């Protein structure tokens, strides 16, 4: 197993994912600023929170990359179907930690009914 590879590609993949999320926010496809959300766990200052949140997200990406690498090493092979299965587990873990889904998430009911992304009305 290439243990150095998981570290390099974990950083690259997480950085690319973060760049795509920032690009989607800048394009108006989403209002979620995930680095800001993560960073506000540490500091209330929005500018600092974005920077801190980026590094928290990078660290979490490394944990997931290590999980993938450890699973491949434990099983003894790295196949596309095992990677896809791990990807589904990865998705499920993120989906179970959804932010602000309905009134119980801390928002009033009006925010839940707004349209977001390219289908929103100007």
Domain ranges of the chain: 1-13+33-91
Q: What's the pLDDT tens digit per position in 11-25?
A: 998 899 888 888 888
Q: What's the pLDDT tens digit per position in 29-75?
A: 988 888 888 999 999 998 899 899 999 999 988 998 888 889 999 99
Is the pLDDT at 106 greater than 50? The verdict is: no
CA distance 77 to 96: 28
CA distance 60 to 8: 14
Burial of 53 (0-12, 13-18, 19+ CB in 10 A): buried
Sequence-ordered list of residues with C-beta below 8 angstroms from that of 119, at least 6 positions apart, any chain = none
As given in the structure block, the two tokens for residue 103 are: 């009134």
Helical axes 80-95 vs 46-75, angle rounded to 10°: 140
Q: What is the pTM of this model?
A: 0.69
Q: What's the pLDDT tens digit per position in 66-92?
A: 888 899 999 998 899 998 998 898 888
Instruction: Answer with the residue of higher pLDDT: 99 or 70.
Output: 70
Of 62, 84, 81, the C-alpha closest to 4 is 62
């Amino acid at each position: 197993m290439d243990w150095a590879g998981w570290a390099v590609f974990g950083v690259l993949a997480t950085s690319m994912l973060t760049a795509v999320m920032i690009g989607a926010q800048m394009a108006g496809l989403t209002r979620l600023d995930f680095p800001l959300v993560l960073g506000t766990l540490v500091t209330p200052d929005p500018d600092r929170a974005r920077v801190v949140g980026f590094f928290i997200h990078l660290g979490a990406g490394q944990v997931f990359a290590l999980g993938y690498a450890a699973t491949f090493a434990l099983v003894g092979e790295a196949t596309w179907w095992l990677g896809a299965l791990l990807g589904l587990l990865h998705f499920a873990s993120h989906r179970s930690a959804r932010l602000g889904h309905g009134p119980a998430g801390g928002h009033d009911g009006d925010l839940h009914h707004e349209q977001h992304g390219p289908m929103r009305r100007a």
